Amino acid sequence: MSDVRVTIQRDSEREERVVTTGTTAADLFQGERSIVAARVAGELKDLAYEVADGETVEPVEITSEDGLNILRHSTAHVMAQAVQELFPQAKLGIGPPIKDGFYYDFDVETPFTPEDLKRIEKKMQEIQKRGQRFSRRVTTDEDAREELAAEPYKLELIGLKGKAGEAAEGADAEVGAGELTIYDNLDAKTGDLCWKDLCRGPHLPTTRNIPAFKLMRSAAAYWRGSEKNKQLQRIYGTAWPTKDELKAYLEFLAEAEKRDHRKLGAELDLFSFPDELGPGLAVFHPKGGVIRKVMEDYSRKRHEDAGYEFVNTPHISKEHLFETSGHLPHYAEGMFPPIEFDGQNYRLKAMNCPMHNLIFKSRGRSYRELPLRAFEFGTVYRYEKSGVVHGLTRSRGFTQDDAHIYCTKEQMPEELDTLLTFVLDLLRDYGLTDFELELSTRDPESDKFIGSDEDWEEATEALRQAAEKQGLPLVPDPGGAAYYGPKISVQAKDAIGRSWQMSTLQVDFNQPKRFGLEYTAADGSKQQPVMLHRALFGSIERFFGVLLEHYAGAFPVWLAPVQATGIPIGDTHVPYLEEFAAEARKKGLRIEVDSSSDRMQKKIRNAQKSKVPYMVIAGDEDVANGAVSFRYRDGSQENGIPKDEAIAKILKAVEERAQV
């Protein structure tokens, strides 16, 4: 046996090692149970991979992003094996890892029931304990077709191998673009074949290396994501490196479920989605309308202070407008179909920017007017498939707080800096404070993007410099730019650590060119302005939903639809509280008095369920002293507060945007 020289790379540390021919990655990291795979020349490999002379080998920890994906993809295979052991007629779709888990699609005669999922999970536990070995082998297309002749969806994937964009989402984990491989699940003792699947891998060494998993739910899913194809059954699951991490994740999900804005919206009587309107179309009830109005009013005030000018545009336009802007050829799938009348095709507005361009173009513009900041609460309509519509956070009709700033190239750096600071400060005012920035750039290999290389480079660099000035983490998003320009997205974490995309800021050299926008420069020449797109909330509806979940319905006083509820100890105290409420309303506070026939304790429970910040209680002693008592949402109480002082305390909490 000859010697093989390899380098083991751990972060910045390098270790040179001489081993014998046939040494595997598992041999290199023997005893290190947290290592589940290796990276060699940038490619992930199973631990069974035999290292070659001169190679650099990096260990992959199970807790890393790659390690978690390998764990979850391996668990998906175990789930698929369990399904086929219990349902032998089930045909296999695909089973990739996803964020926090995995799924696998199956073609079965009847949908899976919750009882089926319990049986499948139990069978998975049996397979996990068997310690079956994941064994990779290279095959040819012809041999794979013969072996998998009973799996029509796998055969289709083999035919699509290497055809970018044609395979199903997640199918790259199965076929990739290189050599074709099959993974066999082998009996730990005999080495006999237990199950096999088309897959590019890598996988964990054995099923016993799967520490903790749970099946979550099943749902219908179209094969390859197309409604033209057959509907399959998809089972979702999650897998984690330890049982404690699985438990923590399930507790997180339970907390997230409590905060689900759709559930809270119904419980707090804020909004609803009537079937008569169709999916993704919300109506706001009076209490939700109050919150929305306060959000909009505050935003308007801040925009006025920052020098924005308010505009309004219609909800529908001739189709040609969106051809000019480039949206129709690049974004048609996100727009509702055309409506024909008067011999013309019209479209529901899916974005506000083309109409703002028409406002700029309506007359001659001078450099003295720039930067021109146009702002609109503009309602738009997007054709979202019914399967992805999700309450207020993914809807078909919503209102954007949309601004478009027209400036000179010289003004652009300062304007971007000011814009990003304005956006972050306003988000902080609504109680979001934990941010990172994402810089979305174009993919030079894609034909999705319009404009010259020089324009893209200049626009991207301007955004990068503006982002870096904020001192926040800057995450790259290659290929995620809009077709007309790069963008910065503000990612904000909520109270339970979930990241939401909030505001976006884009630099656009292309739409001004397509619309022929010009201004007269100081030397009398005609110049093209730079167009900056900026949505602060993204959409009011979505931002509303995010805040509702962030606060779990307990909005800070300034946003709460009812800021205080008067609760009389007895009926005789109602007039006193009505007088107090009248004085508070004169100061601009939103206060109600519960004069119902319910007992006082039930009134308190009702106010707590409604998440009212202040319960204002009055009894004989309070009336005699011209005072009230406060009961807060957390159950604490403050007694004997003079009426004027009580109103002042609530006003101060509103002014400071305090969470009570």
Digit-coded pLDDT (tens) for 290-303:
999 999 999 999 99
User: Do residues 386 and 488 share a domain?
Assistant: yes
Digit-coded pLDDT (tens) for 595-637:
999 999 999 999 999 999 999 999 999 999 999 999 999 889 9
Average pLDDT for the chain:
93
Using DSSP bridges, classify how beta strands 133-139 and 434-441 pair: parallel, antiparallel or unpaired.
unpaired
Residue 270 is assigned to a structural domain of this protein? no
The verdict on whether residue 353 carries a ligand-binding annotation is: yes
User: Do residues 94 and 219 share a domain?
Assistant: yes
Using DSSP bridges, classify how beta strands 35-40 and 56-61 pair: parallel, antiparallel or unpaired.
antiparallel
Work out how many domains the chain is built from and give that number. Answer: 4
Domain holding 625, by residue range, is 564-655
Residue 334 is assigned to a structural domain of this protein? no
Give exposure, 254-264, as e/b (b: 16+ Cβ within 10 Å): eeeeebbbbeb
Digit-coded pLDDT (tens) for 93-116:
999 999 999 999 999 999 999 999
Residue 505 is assigned to a structural domain of this protein? yes
User: Do residues 522 and 614 share a domain?
Assistant: no
Residues 319-326: what's their mean pLDDT?
Answer: 92
Which of residues 40, 61, 82 is at a domain's end?
A: 61
Backbone angles phi, psi at 652, to 5 degrees: -65, -40
Residue 611 is assigned to a structural domain of this protein? yes
pLDDT the model gives residue 29: 93
Digit-coded pLDDT (tens) for 507-538:
999 999 999 999 999 999 999 999 999 988 88
pLDDT the model gives residue 452: 86
Residue 240 is assigned to a structural domain of this protein? yes
User: Do residues 134 and 201 share a domain?
Assistant: yes
Residue 587 is assigned to a structural domain of this protein? yes
Digit-coded pLDDT (tens) for 237-263:
999 999 999 999 999 999 999 999 999
User: Do residues 590 and 641 share a domain?
Assistant: yes
Residue 191 zone, left/alpha/beta (φ > 0; ψ -120 to 50; rest)? left
Annotated catalytic residues are 353, 382, 400, 402, 404, 487, 533
CATH code of the domain containing 627: 3.40.50.800
Q: What is the DSSP string of 329-345?
A: HHHGGGSPPPEEETTEE
User: Do residues 474 and 570 share a domain?
Assistant: no
CATH code of the domain containing 34: 3.10.20.30
Digit-coded pLDDT (tens) for 1-57:
688 899 899 988 888 988 899 999 999 999 899 999 999 988 999 999 999 999 999
Q: Which residues share a beta bridge with 501?
A: 491
Residue 383 is assigned to a structural domain of this protein? yes
Q: Which residues contact 331 (CB under 8 A, 6 or more apart)?
A: 322, 350, 351, 483
Question: What span, in angstroms and rounded, lies between the C-alpha atoms of 277 and 299?
Answer: 28
Digit-coded pLDDT (tens) for 333-351:
889 999 998 889 999 999 9
User: Do residues 179 and 298 share a domain?
Assistant: no
User: Do residues 503 and 596 share a domain?
Assistant: no
Q: Which residues share a beta bridge with 18?
A: 5
The four Cα atoms 600, 602, 604, 610 give a dihedral, to 10 degrees, of -150
User: Do residues 536 and 601 share a domain?
Assistant: no
User: Do residues 212 and 355 share a domain?
Assistant: no
In 3D space, the residue among 36, 103, 95 whose CA is nearest the CA of residue 71 turns out to be 36
User: Do residues 156 and 39 share a domain?
Assistant: no
Q: Which residues contact 54 (CB under 8 A, 6 or more apart)?
A: 5, 6
pLDDT the model gives residue 165: 47
pLDDT the model gives residue 164: 47
CA 430 remoteness from chain centre:
19
CATH code of the domain containing 436: 3.30.930.10
Residue 268 is assigned to a structural domain of this protein? no
User: Do residues 413 and 536 share a domain?
Assistant: yes
Report the percentage of the chain scoring pLDDT > 70: 97
pTM, rounded to two decimals: 0.85
pLDDT the model gives residue 159: 86
Residues 635-643: what's their mean pLDDT?
Answer: 93
The verdict on whether residue 194 carries a ligand-binding annotation is: no
Question: What span, in angstroms and rounded, lies between the C-alpha atoms of 548 and 256?
Answer: 11
**170 has pLDDT over 60:** no
Backbone angles phi, psi at 284, to 5 degrees: -95, 130
**448 has pLDDT over 90:** no
pLDDT the model gives residue 12: 83
pLDDT the model gives residue 631: 95
Axis crossing angle, helix 65-86 with helix 114-130, rounded to the nearest 10: 110
